[in-house]
């Protein structure tokens, strides 16, 4: 059984009438952008979050106060210690999006430890992180990865494994949410 509440007016704490229009786009998805890699095998052997080719989005927020939800699913070998995160290109330089810091790689959203250098297994690694829009200027976001331990680099295969026979498609989606 449904209930109905009818009132003539609702007043906020300052005595002003509230009719709901003040909520505007709060909580609404304002836009979605999505990219996915071709099932190309990429290798990364750098001791810092390194952009994964094809997983980048040039994003222009519709609102200067919205939230931007970054989500990605990366298929990789996750060799030894692997780290995944997001980068933003600021003034021509890729900068980590998060302030998460661990002893392996700064800016990580997800760090996995497999403990071996086996590159014949492939894993799905979903990551997500939310940032503020901070205006309506176009921003370039990228998905990054690395694999290392104690400054020793390990080859990280993206979208496949070393045997070159288990191709997968990694993806990146950005949601703008009204705030």
State the chain's mean pLDDT as an integer: 85
69 within some domain: yes
- Alpha-carbon distances of 38 from 31, 99, 169, 171, 174, rounded to whole Å: 23, 30, 6, 9, 18
What is the number of domains present in the chain? 1
Flag whether 158 is in a domain: yes
On the question of pLDDT at 108 being above 60, the answer is yes
CATH (domain of 161):
2.60.120.1340
* 69 vs 152, more confident: 69
Say what the pTM is. Answer: 0.81
In a domain, 6, yes or no: no
Cα 21 from Cα 120, distance rounded (Å): 56
Indicate whether 127 belongs to any domain. Answer: yes
Residues 6+ apart with CB under 8 A from 85: 49, 96, 97, 98, 100, 105, 107, 108, 109, 110, 127, 129, 143, 144, 145
Residue 132 lies in a domain: yes
Host domain of residue 44: 33-177
User: In this model, does residue 77 exceed pLDDT 60?
Assistant: yes
- Which tokens go with 160? 């496949």
């Amino acid at each position: 059984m449904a209930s109905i509440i009818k009132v003539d007016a609702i007043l906020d704490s300052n005595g002003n009438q509230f009719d709901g229009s003040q909520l505007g786009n709060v909580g609404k998805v304002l836009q979605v952008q999505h990219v996915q890699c071709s099932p190309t095998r990429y290798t990364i052997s750098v001791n810092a979050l390194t952009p994964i080719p094809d997983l980048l989005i040039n994003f222009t927020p519709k609102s200067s106060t919205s939230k931007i939800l970054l989500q990605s699913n990366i298929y990789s070998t996750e060799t030894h210690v692997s780290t995944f995160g997001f980068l933003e290109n600021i003034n021509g330089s890729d900068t980590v999006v998060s302030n998460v810091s661990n002893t392996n790689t700064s800016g990580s959203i997800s760090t996995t430890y497999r403990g071996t250098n086996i590159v014949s297994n492939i894993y799905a690694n979903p990551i997500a992180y939310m940032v503020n829009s901070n205006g309506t200027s176009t921003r370039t976001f990228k998905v990054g990865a690395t694999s290392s331990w104690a400054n020793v680099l390990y080859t990280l295969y993206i979208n496949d494994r070393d045997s070159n026979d288990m191709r997968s498609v990694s993806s990146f989606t950005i949601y703008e949410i009204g705030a």
